[in-house]
Structure 1
Amino acid sequence: MDDIANEFGVSRRTAERMRDAVEAVFGPLEAVDAGEKRIHWRLRSSTLRGLVGITPEEIAELESAAGNLDRTGLAERARMLRELVAKLRALRRPLSEDAFEEDLEALMRAEGLAMRPGPRTRVEPGLLPMLRDAIKASRKVEFDYEARASGRCSRQLVEPYGVLYSNRAFLVGRADWGDES
């Protein structure tokens, strides 16, 4: 209690209220004997589990990175990433298990990697998460397209199926090209 009171510059009674408030929010605290007639408290190991959100996109990125490491001959590093994925899956909230797995499976099927040497182009920040959301929701996306060869611009409505990474990221999807403007 003295440590709490000193750290926050409050009275002992306020420190007790603060401890009680933490206990009310996170559940029973574990008392730990710190010697010298002092008691410290700590949260149970599973208490904070619900506060950490692990998304299917994050798991998919790690799975993809592990596959890339395998393809480049770094199997030991790939194994370590897959172990991390297993730990993260165990930590995440058990709510909506089916939806999480469905989203993860859709993302893993929708994204591929084509390795080629050379410089990589930068992908606009926020674009890939938006495309991933559209893929998961089976929602069409609309964008302006500039043909590389002719420089001609057109507005396209595309049903995205996935993303292929190479020197550039390619959107794979279905578009009605007959409706060019």
Structure 2
Amino acid sequence: MSYAKASDLLRLADMAAARFEGISLQDVTREFGCDHRTAQRMMRSFEAVFPLVDIAEDAERRRRWHLPRSDARWLQAQGIRDSELAALEMAAKRADRDGAPDEAQRLRALKDRLLAAMAPSHARRTEADAEALLEAQGFASRPGPRVVPDLGLLGVLTEALRAPWEVRLSYRGARDDRPRERLLEPHGLLLGTRRYLVARPSQGDGRMRRFRLDRIERAAIVSRSFARDPAFDLAAFAARSFGSFHAEAEFGPVEWRFTPAAATTARQFLFHPGQEMIDEPDGALTVRFMASGHMEMAWHLYQWGDQVEVISPPELRDAVARHRRDDFPALP
């Protein structure tokens, strides 16, 4: 057996033991990027190497493999790799940067528990290697502007979302600078250039609304629980916007055409979760999706100079027409 195959079987063992229902062939194809027949061969080898594996069928008649393991020595024997430790620390740094200190704290607590389970010599070596890997990847000291979050406010909102509890806000609207008191049922946070609380009024029409965090002067938890809307999908709600700002009147089809010179770079971007990319005969790239947020689209399009043309909507095309520069030395 090659070293690579042995490593794959150990990874399968981790997956089969960590997941309550075990793993299916579909899980294997997704994890390893292989086809169905290769996944079948891998699981036959897995059964031979780990004869104690439990094999059962789920409700959809798919075979699942589950590896019972209650011995903590398995974790100690495998240890934690420098790349895995670096990935945890990078995720914590992203959470810090994106204004999610609660998640950052939990990721670092997980990292500490993993290191505590390792032998001291292994833990020290892994920490040193992970620090070098972080520095080499350029994340530990990445420059650039970012919004400084109000950690106290984020703490209140995170606690309210976890329970969930109603929250009472003192909020300044876009057209009225005088703060008004609002009683809300929070359902999520959108973290972008601007941060928004997604919530519905406790007494109202039941529609979800966005509330900019920088316009919240005070927030307090109301010791009254509520039932989350089971039909609400935060990802689908966020996808109605290009960035974090949403305007229902702007929502509609968006189409951009990148020049042949910019197509290779543009193809590497995910502009929107629902995007469609079309390769044109002349080498150009057309990107289509449905969203609102023309201002944030214009901010992004400015970085491409004259290497992108807005086909639709016409309001966005008119907004960027006078700002398409031909002297940008590089693409985003």
Is the shorter-chain TM-score for this pair beyond 0.5, marking a shared fold? no
Higher helix share: 1
TM score, norm. by length of structure 1: 0.36
User: With structure 2 as the length reference, what TM-score do the two structures score?
Assistant: 0.21
The higher-RCO structure (CA 8 Å, 6+ apart) is: 1
